[in-house]
Amino acid sequence: MHIRLKTNILAAVLLCFAFVAQAQQKKDITLEDLYKKGTFRSQSVYGVNWMNDGRYYSSQVPDEKNKVYDIVKYDVTTGKPVSTIIEGENLVPAGSNQPIQYDDYTFSSDEQKVLFSTDTEQIYRRSSKAEFYIYDIASKKLTKLSDGGKQLYASFSPDAKRVAFARENNMFVTDLSNMQETQITTDGKFNSIINGYSDWVYEEEFSFAKGFHWSPDGKKIAFYTFDEANVPEFNMQMWGELYPQDYKFKYPKAGEANSTVKVSVYDVNSGKTVKMDTGNEDDIYIPRIKWTNDANLLSIQKMNRLQNTLEILHANVSTGKTNVVLKETDKAYIDITDDLTYLKDGKNFIHSSEKDGYNHLYLYNMNGKLVRQITDGNWEVSEYVGYDEKNDRLYYMSTEVSPLDRHLYSISSKGKKKQRLTDKEGTHRVNMSNDFKYYLDYYSAANTVPTVSLHTAKDGKLIKVLEDNEKLKSTLAQYDIAKQEFFSMNTADGTKLNGWMIKPTDFDPNKKYPVLMFVYGGPGSQTVTNSWGGSNYLWYQVLADKGLIVVSVDNRGTGARGADFKKITYANLGKYEIEDQIEAAKWLGKQNYVDKDRIGIWGHSFGGYMTLLGLTKGDGVFRAGISVAPVTNWRFYDSIYTERYLKTPQENAAGYDENSPLFFADKLQGKLLLIHGTGDDNVHFQNAVAMQDALIDANKQFESFYYPNRNHGIYGGNTYMHRFTMMTDFLERNLINPGKTVVNQ
């Protein structure tokens, strides 16, 4: 063979190897991938409305030809469309030639009418107002619900004859037979009296905005009235105009006056309203109202201001008279849930409680006498799903396998025949059909992208995978992805803490790496779960690629491990939580592969608060920290949340002050980046201003950044891209490559 031929063959072989190597080379994730391009956006199954016959559900489907959304009926057994219930192009209101662009829809109980919301305006976290339309499926007629202005929480009556709604602090009801609108209340007044929806603090901390409920027979409406006249007003400035605009709203800070709350019932036939008797004490909470299956009997949950006593009242709605059927007390506090369920037999109800040390389900008769404890064990019922009375199967999610996992179980009301219905390790979230025949399983795990599948409820059998996110899997396969690994550590007193860790893909155990700890740490929360981590998990991939180990540890006070573990922080919020995070940092510093002089911490909201505590109380264990939207003094935060865990400032001043970063600014060690949105209605910008003032007084240097008009989530437009670029740059300068100037583009 000629030398030239050998040379050509060798060159060809080398070129081939080069192409193979190039094909196998993985890409690095960029911030643009995450916050501009949406490269790793996962898909799901949205807008599923189960129909009366549990074999079918409806969903919004884009009609590309007509540029509208149709409502399509699907057979759950096949996952295939059966028929189009509503053609989007038919949703044309009178006086227009264009169909409405709706945001959401709701069927009436007989599935003959549909309520559409359009032009929705978000108010706070859970509140919104919109223009609503009624569509009659038979006649294909679309009718505007009201011409009096946007409505809040429009809802069909159970008999499908009426729609109730709130507007401008008052309640209304419309008769669908003639579209006659009746005003139920007239005393509503801005920043004073609210009828039919909640005030700011109930919405945020008791997790509801709609404040009315139809009776089972559709003839009565139970509704809240909030008198917030004496609640102090908070003022924010909104920027952008020549003169900044004041935005004022009622916000009760810890120890300040709350709204007084009452519950009334309106009879649509007689037009009469009856106030329910909740006692003579005004300084109380009514976190839930719920109709029993008796249209004359309303259930009212009442709490004292410290939230350590819960009473369930049964009210005769004709007279307003009430009696206490169940009273529960706790040495710390009681969490409110939506678990209370009245059975169709009219004799019993199901209620959840932590009274045995873990959250479990209990069966009571209508007089409040305990029939039996249904679930039992050193694990938590994390969510009550529902009760199939016909087959005596109660469905719930629990932590029985692990505090890191969530699985679906069924059990009889006698506490027998318990069955685990989900098998894959990880986190399952279910959407159960109304007749308890089927459920959608929204599943993910650490390092495993979300999937959605359809199952039979009686045995958990898989019918069909509705979304497998294969596109996302294929995309991720092209990138260098570091695995999320779980670990546990013991504190000095023997308490086991759970954590996860993400190491660089080229991790070398003989090298020493910087560490960034991610923390939230608030009461009942969890950051350490066996679930897909979303955009934060992918940002950590960017950091790992830069040589950073990312860690998260759930401290005492977090959830899924029983009441004692969670409630140890009562009256001393921040104390045990930061002790555990500091101890975790020290434990990490002892690992052979960790550079103990380059450990950082970051968090948002409660995690921002924890970051400040770490830098001020950590005695230098943290080299750098990023605190986003932190509470800096619990006296600045709202009454319901803060007093639940700390009592009032008047009763527990030390609990407020001994763990407020404001009072330890002079002890700041390490580099700090403080970020806040000026339009934060939840954790006010006031917190950041006060912290900066304290740091200035202590002559402590720090970095800060504010986002104009952004709320607590600090998002919108290019905000995420800007924020995470800045945060990445800060970590490179102060943790990954200290002293080296780094600018991320």
Query: pLDDT (tens digit, 9 = 90+) per residue, 392-439?
Result: 999 999 999 999 999 999 999 999 999 999 999 999 999 999 999 999
Distance in angstroms (rounded) separating the CA atoms of residues 264 and 272 = 10
Q: Which of 314, 676, 684, 712 is catalytic?
A: 712
Terminal CA-to-CA distance of the chain, rounded, Å? 54
Backbone angles phi, psi at 373, to 5 degrees: -85, 125
Distance in angstroms (rounded) separating the CA atoms of residues 623 and 611 = 11
- Average pLDDT (255-265) is 98
Distance in angstroms (rounded) separating the CA atoms of residues 271 and 267 = 5
Confidence check: pLDDT of 565 > 70: yes
Confidence check: pLDDT of 323 > 90: yes
Give yes or no for a contact between 683 and 637, defined as CB atoms under 8 angstroms apart.
Answer: yes
* 712 has catalytic annotation: yes
Higher pLDDT, 79 or 441: 441
Q: What angle do CA 290, 293, 294 make, to 5 degrees?
A: 100
Q: Which of 213, 680, 681, 684 is catalytic?
A: 680
- Average pLDDT (227-234) is 98
Higher pLDDT, 123 or 10: 123
The region of weakest confidence among 48-62, 152-166, 312-326, 583-597 is 48-62
Confidence check: pLDDT of 18 > 60: no
Give the pTM: 0.94
User: How much is the pLDDT for 24?
Assistant: 61
C-alpha Rg value of the chain to the nearest Å = 28
* 605 has catalytic annotation: yes
Write the DSSP assignment of 140-186 as a string of letters.
TEEEES-SSS-BEEEEE-TTSSEEEEEETTEEEEEETTTTEEEE---
Local confidence band at 23 (pLDDT 50, 70, 90 cut-offs): very low
Give yes or no for a contact between 242 and 267, defined as CB atoms under 8 angstroms apart.
Answer: no
Local confidence band at 740 (pLDDT 50, 70, 90 cut-offs): low
Rounded alpha-carbon distances, angstroms, from residue 339 to 125, 370, 375, 382: 22, 16, 14, 10
Distance in angstroms (rounded) separating the CA atoms of residues 142 and 311 = 44
Local confidence band at 95 (pLDDT 50, 70, 90 cut-offs): confident
User: What is the DSSP secondary structure assignment for residue 535, as one 8-state letter?
Assistant: H
Q: Which of 398, 605, 627, 639 is catalytic?
A: 605
At 534, which helix (H) or strand (E)? helix 534-545
Type of residue numbered 271: G
What are 677-735's pLDDT values in tens digits?
A: 999 999 999 999 999 999 999 999 999 999 999 999 999 999 999 999 999 999 999 99
Reading across the β-sheet that carries 419-420, which strands appear in turn?
A: 381-388, 393-398, 407-411, 419-420
Any bridge partners for residue 49, and if so which? 58
Which tokens belong to 333? 């506090």
